[in-house]
A and B are shown apart, each in its own frame.
Chain A
Amino acid sequence: MKRAEFRFEIVEDLASADFIFDAYGRTLEDLFKACATACFTAITEIERVEPSKEYNLMVDGEDQNELLYNYIAELIYLKDTEKSFFSYFEIHIAEDKKSLTSIVKGEPISYDKHVIKTDVKAVTHHRLNITERDGEFVTRMVLDL
């Protein structure tokens, strides 16, 4: 069976106040996309978020782990300042894995249209460590709610 380009699995067995998931991607870009999708899945029913408004992001980081941390932090910042949810993430990571550009699409938060689950306060470094396993890029991620 062909595996999806990206996916994530929620970790339920830790008695914590956080949102914990394992993310998988065929490429590093797909892994980042999995984490971004998981982040907004924690907040809302992402299928209902129309990609009607576009944002261009540039993010740096000392290495690929930092880059992922900074990317998710940037999306959380954008959510709060634009008061919007996002559902489309196009990501291009530089060869040295120290910077990326991303096109992010979404729409303003609507309590009539969107299903609100919770808010994500911050991304954490806990267990954030990108590795390659069985031809996939993998990491765990903990979001503080």
Chain B
Amino acid sequence: MQKKRISEYIWEIPPDQKPGMKVPARIVASEKLMAGMDEGVYNQVTNVACLPGIRQYAWCMPDGHWGYGFPIGGVAAFDMDEGIISPGGIGFDINCGVRLIRTSLTEDEVRPKLKELVDTLFRNIPAGVGKSGSVSLSRRDFTNVITQGAAWCQKNGYAWEEDLNRIEQRGQIPGADPSAVSDKAVNRGIDQIGTLGSGNHYLEVQAVRFDQGCDAEISRLLGVEAPGQVTIMIHCGSRGFGHQIGTDYLQSFGSAMKRYGITTNDRELACAPISSTEGRQYFGAMACAANAAFANRQVITHHVRQSFETVFDKPADRLGMNLVYDVAHNIAKIETYEIEGRPTKLLIHRKGATRAYGPGNPALSGIFHQTGQPVLVGGSMQTGSYLMVGTCMAEQLTFGSTCHGAGRVMSRAAAKKRVRGSDLLNQMERDGIIVRTASFSGLAEEAGFAYKNVSDVVEAVHNLGISRKVARLIPMANIKG
């Protein structure tokens, strides 16, 4: 497949490279990242470019790799009238995302108590398969959780009042429709609020670094002020609730496609017109799962604050444990962008990609109006993560989207062959990173070498200008499901 270099960080596959492509496919990457790019990305991003009602370009971010249907790192915008909604463009783990909590503690203050802290966190935050959360919910309560998201948490004592201002869309996606959710999804999710899950999900205690090119002034405005300051990052999603919604709708969209006469290159791109009954139902169910995920991360935050209070014997507010931000990485949202000179409402699919609104965006309030929206890029548990901010360039170029993480380069099976989980744990301890895990083999699958270099990914989006590097967050301790 021909890949034309458009600029230093943009590569384009023209529509003549595959029958049915309605728009070109574009990949954000440096030459180095492009050389190592998973071949599956090209096939999948060009399949996305064939979908009905797609506008401008099918994008893949530099952390892209093979997914099912859309590649991970995929971003695509669909016309509200002619376009489609696709569960494969969002992922099974709806609103898998990341949140960052600041503290006023320093690395030197935390290090002597790190083991005690990690054990306390591991005890208080259920991680791994088959674990229930601490929140006991009736079916009516659960309906409130999935319609209100983070607002439910605030009403029920799991959130500080200011937390909501620091969550993408205040932690509540409008349009949530509980009637579009199956009993099975509710049964799977009802006892999982406040649980981390497994796979690549984690909770990390981190220390701030300002590498070359980081904008320390913006960082300070966001509450991440000094090198050595301790932060906490939470990466998880909507758990079994969202997975079941994905499973249910991938199945029912198969027959819906026949009814609407839609064909796709891949069964995993099953979709329905946005305006159809099925499309509206899936959007309503997806919004429920997104809200459940915001609530999940909020309840975990509550337990993180409690754990720090126990270990450091001070109230969480005196430890400065404010939320920096919470972003979704797997979601579809209605947003407005200029198409052919006219502001147009579009359904933006982001699968392993982050919204990246720039300064001045009317959807941003408070300090974010000045700094741009915080973008949280989760790296591997060995290499660290980044705090970035969105830009106006992202709004003009990539439908207000940027990368979400490092991106895998190695299968889980191959990673496990290369390192034993217990050896990796010892190696990380020697490197000063304490790990607690529900699964040793799961740990091995998440080894740093299984991922691209997160700094390369971050440099690519920074240099292209679709987000700005603010601070690097290096791991001190990690809890893995």
Contacts and interface: CB of A to CB of B under 8 A. Distances in A.
Interface of A: 10-20, 43, 62, 66, 69-70, 73, 76-77, 79-81, 83-84, 109, 111, 115-119, 121-126, 128, 142, 144-145
Contacts of A69: 251
B226 interface: no
A77 B246 CA distance: 12
Contacts of B247: 73, 76, 122-123
A125 B198 contact: no
A17 B412 contact: yes
Contact of A43 (B67, B129, B411): B129
B326 interface: no
B267 interface: yes
Contact of A17 (B69, B200, B414): B200
A15 B38 CA distance: 7
A118 B251 contact: no
Contact of A77 (B93, B184, B199): B184
B197 A119 contact: yes
Interface stretch (B24-32, B50-58, B438-446): B438-446
Contact of B268 (A15, A66, A116, A126): A126
Contacts of B93: 121, 144
B38 to A, nearest CB: 5
26 contacts: A13-B414, A14-B411, A15-B38, A15-B410, A16-B66, A62-B255, A66-B251, A69-B251, A73-B251, A77-B184, A111-B128, A116-B438, A116-B442, A117-B439, A118-B129, A118-B412, A119-B128, A119-B198, A119-B199, A119-B481, A124-B268, A125-B250, A125-B267, A144-B68, A144-B93, A145-B198
A80 B282 CA distance: 22
Contact of A116 (B129, B414, B417): B129
Contacts of B439: 116-118
Interface centre among B128, B250, B411, B417 (most CB of A within 10 A): B411
A17 B408 contact: yes
Nearest to B200: A17
A41 to B, nearest CB: 11
A104 to B, nearest CB: 16
B390 interface: no
Contacts, number: 126
B411 A12 contact: yes
Contacts of B33: none
Contacts of A80: 130, 188, 240
B315 interface: no
Contacts of B413: 10-12, 19
A94 B451 CA distance: 45
A118 B130 contact: no
Contact of A70 (B68, B244, B246, B251): B251
The 8 A-B pairs at the shortest CB distance, nearest first, are namely A109-B130, A119-B129, A119-B198, A125-B267, A121-B243, A12-B413, A122-B92, A116-B439
Interface string B176-214: 000000001001100000000111100000000000000
B22 interface: no
Interface in B403-438: 408-414, 417, 438
B244 A77 contact: yes
Contacts of A18: 68, 412
A145 B438 contact: no
B86 to A, nearest CB: 12
Interface centre among A10, A12, A121, A145 (most CB of B within 10 A): A121
Nearest to B39: A15
Contacts of A118: 129, 198-199, 412, 439, 441-442, 445
Given A81-B188, A117-B442, A144 B92 contact: yes
Contacts of B99: none
Nearest to B130: A109
B242 to A, nearest CB: 8
Interface string B26-66: 00000000000010100000000000000000000000011
B457 to A, nearest CB: 15
B409 A15 contact: yes
Interface centre among B93, B130, B243, B417 (most CB of A within 10 A): B130
A125 B268 contact: yes
B72 interface: yes
A68 B244 CA distance: 16
A16 B267 contact: no
Contact of A122 (B69, B246, B266, B411): B246
Contact of A126 (B68, B130, B445): B68
B267 A121 contact: no
A119 to B, nearest CB: 4
A79 B270 CA distance: 26
Contacts of A15: 38, 40, 65-66, 408-411
Contacts of A79: 129-130
A126 B267 contact: yes
B411 A145 contact: no
Interface in B213-268: 240, 243-244, 246-247, 250-251, 254-255, 266-268
B178 to A, nearest CB: 18
Interface in B61-100: 65-69, 72, 92-93
A128 B438 CA distance: 30
B66 A14 contact: yes
B199 A121 contact: yes
Contacts of A119: 128-129, 197-199, 481
A16 B450 CA distance: 10
Given A118-B129, A145-B199, A81 B187 contact: yes
